[in-house]
C-alpha cells in the first residue's frame, strides 16, 4: 500500500466538519464524551472512563512520521476546532483498511459521522491506495450502521456470532465493506437525495418543522394540517430527538442549515 513521502498528517474537511490530528488539549472533551452510556455500550473504551484514560490514549498515538501506519484524527465542526469525535484507519498492508470512529453525544444527529467516514474513506482510497475499507459494529448499533450505509458500505443482513470482542467478552457483530465504486455510487445517490445526511424526518415531521419555522403554535399547526394538537406534540418531540435539538428554535436552526426548511418570504 502506498505511503506518501511527506510525513505531515493531513487535515481533511468538507466545509462542514474537519478531521485534524489529535492534540493533548482534546483530553477534557474526550473524557466528557466517554462518560456517555452509548459510547460505553458500543465501543471498547474503559468503564468507568477517567481523564487519565484519555491522557494515556493521547500519549500512545504515533508520532507524525509513524502516523501513516495508523491514521488517526479528531473530528471537529467547522469553524470550531474543538474535539467532538475520533476516527482512525488501520491498514493491513495488503490493500485493506479497517475503520473505527465515535462521535460525542453533543455532536450527534447532524450527519457528522457520515461526513467524517466519507472523508476518511475517500482519502484512504486516494492517498493510501486502499482497495477496500472494512467496517464492523456490535449488532444493534443502529447509528453506526446508518452512517456506514450512508457512505456506501455493503452490509449484509447476516449477524456474525461472537465476531467482536469487548472487555473480555465476545459480541455478535455486523460487518461491511466499501470499495471505491461503492463510495462513488453512494455519493451520486446522496446528491440526488439532497444535502441532508442525518436521521430522516418523515413527510409529516417535515410539514410540522416548516410550520414551526413560520413561528406557529402547536394549536395552529394542528388546525392547518388537520390533525390533533397531541399528534403535533408527538411530531415535535420526534423532530427534536432526531435533530438532537434542545428546543424548537434550535430545531429550526438545524433545519435551515441542513436544507430541511426555509424561512418564509
What's the average model confidence in pLDDT over 96-103? 97
Q: Going by C-beta distance under 8 Å and a sequence separation of 6 or more, which residues neighbour residue 251? A: 209, 212, 239, 240, 243, 245
Helix (H, G, I), strand (E, B) or coil at 196: coil
CA distance between the termini of the chain:
54
Give the whole-angstrom CA distance, residue 44 versus residue 165.
8
Q: What is the pLDDT of residues 187-218, one digit of tens each?
A: 765 544 444 445 578 888 989 999 999 999 99
Say what the pTM is. 0.70
pLDDT of 55 reads 97
Other residues' Cβ atoms within 10 Å of the Cβ of residue 39: 17
Omega within 30 of 0 (cis) for the link into 79: yes
What is the pLDDT confidence band of residue 261, given thresholds at 50, 70 and 90?
confident
Q: How would DSSP label each residue in 23-66?
A: -GGGHHHHHHHTTSHHHHHHS---SS--HHHHHHHHHHSPPTTG
Largest CA distance in the chain: 65
- Dump pLDDT digits (tens) for 111-124: 999 999 999 999 99
Instruction: Please tell me the distance from the alpha carbon of residue 183 to that of residue 153, in angstroms, as a whole number.
Output: 8
The answer to whether the CB of 53 falls within 8 A of the CB of 45 is yes
The C-alpha atoms of residue 254 and residue 108 are separated, in whole angstroms, by 12
Tell whether the model's pLDDT for residue 61 goes beyond 60.
yes
The position carrying cell 455532536 is 107
Give the other-Cβ count within 10 Å of 59's Cβ: 9
Amino acid at each position: 500500500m502506498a505511503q506518501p513521502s511527506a510525513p505531515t498528517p493531513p487535515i481533511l474537511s468538507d466545509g462542514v466538519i474537519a478531521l485534524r490530528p489529535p492534540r493533548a488539549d482534546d483530553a477534557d472533551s474526550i473524557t466528557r464524551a466517554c462518560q456517555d452510556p452509548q459510547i460505553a455500550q458500543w465501543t471498547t473504551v474503559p468503564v468507568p472512563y477517567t481523564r487519565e484514560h484519555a491522557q494515556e490514549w493521547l500519549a500512545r498515538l504515533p508520532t507524525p512520521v509513524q502516523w501513516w501506519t495508523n491514521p488517526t484524527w479528531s473530528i471537529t465542526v467547522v469553524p470550531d476546532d474543538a474535539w467532538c469525535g475520533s476516527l482512525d484507519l488501520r491498514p493491513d498492508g495488503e490493500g485493506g483498511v479497517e475503520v473505527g470512529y465515535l462521535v460525542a453525544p453533543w455532536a450527534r444527529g447532524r450527519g457528522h459521522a457520515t461526513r467524517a467516514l466519507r472523508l476518511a474513506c475517500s482519502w484512504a482510497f486516494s492517498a493510501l491506495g486502499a482497495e477496500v475499507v472494512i467496517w464492523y459494529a456490535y449488532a444493534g448499533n443502529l447509528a453506526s450502521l446508518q452512517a456506514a450505509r450512508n457512505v456506501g458500505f455493503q452490509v449484509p443482513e447476516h449477524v456474525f456470532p461472537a465476531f467482536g470482542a469487548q472487555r473480555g467478552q465476545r459480541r455478535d457483530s455486523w460487518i461491511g465493506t466499501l470499495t471505491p465504486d461503492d463510495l462513488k455510487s453512494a455519493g451520486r445517490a446522496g446528491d440526488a437525495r439532497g444535502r441532508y445526511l442525518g436521521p430522516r424526518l418523515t413527510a409529516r415531521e417535515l410539514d410540522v418543522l416548516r410550520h414551526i419555522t413560520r413561528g406557529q403554535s402547536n394549536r395552529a399547526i394542528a388546525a392547518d394540517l388537520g390533525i390533533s394538537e397531541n399528534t403535533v406534540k408527538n411530531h415535535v418531540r420526534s423532530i427534536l430527538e432526531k435533530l438532537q435539538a434542545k428546543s424548537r428554535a434550535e430545531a429550526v436552526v438545524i433545519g435551515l442549515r441542513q436544507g430541511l426548511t426555509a424561512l418564509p418570504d
